Amino acid sequence: MHHTATTSHANSNHQKNSNPGRRYGLKALFTLIVFNRSRGKPISPLQPTPAQAGAGPPCRQYRSMTETAPVPAGPLPASAPRTQPATRTVLVTGAGKRLGRAMALALAQSGWQVAVHYHRSRQAALDTVAACAAHAASAAFRADLAEEAAVRALLPRVAAHFGRVDAVVNSAALFEFDDAARFGHALLDAHLHTNTAAPLLLAQALAAHLAARRAPPASGCVVNLLDQKLFNPNPDFLSYTLSKAALHAATTLLAQALAPAVRVVGVAPGLTLSSHLMESEAAFERLHAQSPLGKSSTPEDVAATVRFALDNASITGATLLVDGGQHLMRFERDFSMMETASAPVPSAQAAPFFEADLAPSPAQGGQSLTLTGLRFNANLGILAHEKTAPQPIQVDAELNLGAQPLRPRDDDITHVLDYRKVRQIIIDECTAEHVNLLETLIGKLCQRLLRLPGVHGVRVKITKLEIFDDCEVAIRMEAGQW
The lowest-confidence range among 4-13, 113-122, 134-143 is 4-13
Q: What pLDDT sits at residue 363?
A: 63
The 10s digit of each residue's pLDDT in 349-372 is: 333 333 343 444 456 688 899 999
Structural domain contains residue 347: no
Residue 177 contacts residue 237 (beta carbons within 8 Å): yes
Write the CATH number for 466: 3.30.1130.10
Residue 422 lies in a domain: yes
370 shares its domain with 307: no
E strand map for 93-160: 113-118, 138-142
- Note whether residue 96 is domain-resident: yes
Question: Number of folded domains in the chain?
Answer: 3
Q: What is the CATH number of the domain that holds 297?
A: 3.40.50.720
Looking at the DSSP bridge assignments, the partners of residue 263 are 221
Question: For residues 243 and 191, is the Cβ–Cβ distance under 8 A?
Answer: yes
Predicted confidence (pLDDT) per residue in 147-191, tens digit: 999 999 999 999 999 999 999 999 999 998 888 988 999 999 999
Q: For the segment 81-115, what is each residue's pLDDT rounded down to a tens digit?
A: 444 457 999 999 999 999 999 999 999 999 999 99
User: 427 and 323 in one domain?
Assistant: no
Phi, psi values for residue 413, rounded to 5°: -65, -25
Global model pTM greater than 0.85: no
Domain that holds residue 383: 363-480
- Each residue of 211-232: pLDDT tens digit? 999 999 999 999 999 999 999 9
Q: Report the relative pairing of strands 89-92 and 138-142 from DSSP bridges.
A: unpaired
Of residues 26, 25, 30, the one with CA closest to residue 43: 30
Q: Quote the pLDDT of residue 139.
A: 98
Residue 307 sits in the same domain as residue 384: no
Model confidence pLDDT, tens digit, residues 437-459? 999 999 999 999 988 888 889 99
Are 148 and 297 within one domain? yes
- Same structural domain, 166 and 307: yes
Burial tier of 170 (Cβ tally within 10 Å: 0-12, 13-18, 19+): buried
**Shared-domain flag, residues 316 and 377:** no
Q: Is residue 345 part of a domain?
A: no
Clarify whether residues 142 and 205 are in a common domain.
yes
At residue 132 the predicted structure's pLDDT band, cuts being 50, 70 and 90, is very high
On whether both 46 and 111 belong to a single domain, the answer is: no
Does any domain span residue 73? no
What's the pLDDT tens digit per position in 397-419?
A: 999 988 777 777 667 776 688 88
Instruction: Give the residue-averaged pLDDT of 254-259.
Output: 98
Indicate if the pLDDT at residue 40 is higher than 70.
no
- Specify whether the CB–CB gap between 221 and 262 falls below 8 A: yes
C-alpha 196/C-alpha 184 separation (Å) is 17
Q: Is residue 343 part of a domain?
A: no
**Greatest Cα pair distance in the chain:** 107
Note the pLDDT of residue 124.
95
75 inside domain:
no
Same domain, 373 and 327: no
The answer to whether residues 196 and 314 belong to one domain is yes
321 with 461, same domain? no
Mean pLDDT, residues 305-329 taken together: 96
